[in-house]
Structure 1
């Protein structure tokens, strides 16, 4: 059963939707616009950070590259290198002192290595007393004629602390003797100092990668790891930029927590706005709908009183109510008055119907008078030994009793066929010739209930039209069998048949039957009894005969109902043997007939 809703609930729901939908649309548009703006701002900030970081690192490295170029061409350095190679006393100590001096006067330059072609080296750091064991941990890069940059994946103890280094290296060339390679000079730059040139804030950080390996990071534990191990935070957005000068890759990692926090604040604000909208909607719904709801309540109260039979009830509305509600109330009041008048008319009609039923009961005296009259004629015929006339009168009385008593009721197929036998006997006396009636119905089908007078009209048509000017033996076959869940009754004659156009007209349900009133009557009663479940159609070939096919839905017979039905039919003469001497069909099968098209 469909659940009913009150108008109060319906109006409140609609007001809430009317208030919330604009807020939700506004929230969605604002969220989409804010997200677009924030992502664009973040992208611009990241790109600016990467450009500034690249520019700052290039400027810092240009400074050290210029220092490196000065050392490469400085005569004092070149002479000292030559003295070291020739084994001059004190040359190595003098070279170390010279390199240490350059470390101390340049911030961020943690140490310098001078590597000779034979892999021997001279090292110097900012602290003069420091052990030079750190120099053995430095991977010497393959240097060319241009400056080479690389980063260290492991930290070294240098200048009294553990630190990561960025290496700049160039070949040391003696241009005075035809570009003779004297060795390689390597600058060791502190990674911490290098990071001072990078541009990032508290919501972001910049990584420097050499290939796929991190060589500079805010968290030193991440140095030496691969990019896939570090750049994998789902709450961050990553952007990269490659440096044309060093070949390093800058990765900017920007946290989305600020963005998420801003969204949470916006959603909280929108929630407050939505709550305020709901409260305003509730207040407006109550204040605006109160007069209308009062009018509706008044109508409902009046309807309830009318349902209980109080037709004096009338609905009344306030003066300030809209005219539409006033018209509804006035219309309802008029309808109540009209219903009250109709009820009075129904009461009067019921009284008239009872009078008609009494008249109908009184009219039943007429058939009894007719039966008594026929009975008197019958005895008179017997006294005069007119036994054929007596039999005809008895058959006529049975037919009248069958047709009049319980008209429209059901009977068994066996009883219906017995009245056909009586009808043929009377018609045969009129026509002077009796047709050969054959009935082929299996025993298990004889008690199937059907409505009265469904078969008789077709027998009447056969006697009236089919055998006119027909010579030879007249034959009528009535057979029945089950077709699915329907009883298929076949009524066949060997008369003159029906002309083709007339047959097509008779098979049209809505067509005017003309003189064939019985066919139209059967169609209408089938419609009333069985709705669309029953079917009737005719087949005929001129000169050969006609077949009537009647399909009736079968219900399971009720023993008590059938017994009662049989009793109502009354006792009648056993004329079932007359005209049934023909062959009985086996298992309800129709007999083969050597008549083309029928």
Structure 2
């Protein structure tokens, strides 16, 4: 088979795929300029609208703080109650107005703070009128004072009243919008005391909508179609579109409203909107597209020149990088070939200029070689150990049987039982040591092993083994539990002055056999437990410690990642080993 090198393939693929994009960029860019304009406008508009919406909510929240200070103030609630009760109304109105005046200048753009009591009294501080009997804004809204009171006092929400007709008082004039809330007496939250209304200059909304320029204009329309705020517009407080209008009709009305301001001229105009759930208002953004279209055309010409120059530069860089990468690959391959010929000592030399992926291959190869070398050495050592340990098992069993009968002849039945148990344990362990047995067989062997340990230690500890009957016939690999039991007996009970207790519980948990081995011994240091649960075992000559490591390793070798081992321990209290063995 004719195989091309990776260098030729990469360079060829790059040349073929680099010519096509040049043609596509120019053709697609030419025929889709209008779409690109729309995408740019949408991106900028969405960012502008979202920023304006967030600013609007933040500013209104800050003005709601004034409202909150009024409708929760105990002194104001007390004055309102007195007015409702008809107690010294004139003096209490005066005191209430003084308190409203104290809050008046905490925020710019506040033009009036008014309280309407349950008894129908109206107390306010109005900057435009400076009057105590006539507010500047009540006649500019479309509802009566009684309807306004019923609407605001009907719940515990903040009510937002959109901009009404222009308020004119003497030489002062402005548009106002209002926020209101019922007054709450926290001693009796259901009691109707009155409502408080804060009137705010519409100039605040113009400022939130940001400075209007020839390229864009922001304005606000409520969900009924009335203009809430717009710079240089006489339509504030008036309907922009009819209620129930279709989306296309709304956009046409937005364009007309923006055009009437005179800011955006008569050119092509795009209109976008975002709905603010907090206020129920639509924030509109109208943008002039003429300047953006001209800019994109200039960018198109510049893009052609840059693409051509970039192609040349990238081609040079590509050839350079491919040459370096293929050189690194060749060096790795050469090292692999040496290993294939039997040289187990070879390693790929470190190279900081090598690509990350090839460096990973090199490191994995080096790691594999180290593991392979170590495995070969272990195999040799195992073979040597096997040769050294080739003692005929029958000789050992016959010798133990002879000693057993000698003990019986001398009426040493305890020794006889121990020798018989030892023979059983050895025969079980040597015969097919990696095989599978029933849990019942493993438990029977474990009891014999514990019997020997109890005899050896003169019954210094108690052992309780509880196994659910339903799992007795399940299969398990031999000799998995002995290292954990041995570790608990030989190390767990060191330095403990209480009665030693070893508890082994086995049962079914879903698709697993759950094994729990608990001792009340001296415990294991926390750091060592963390290391053991993480698969880290410190180098030690302790055979029991090595036995636990080998047992855990065997479990994962037999059952893979489905098995799980978890060790818990507290110094001075004991240790619990949890094993989950898949069925």
TM beyond 0.5: no
Bigger radius of gyration among the two: 1
TM-score normalised by the chain length of structure 1: 0.38
TM-score normalised by the chain length of structure 2: 0.38
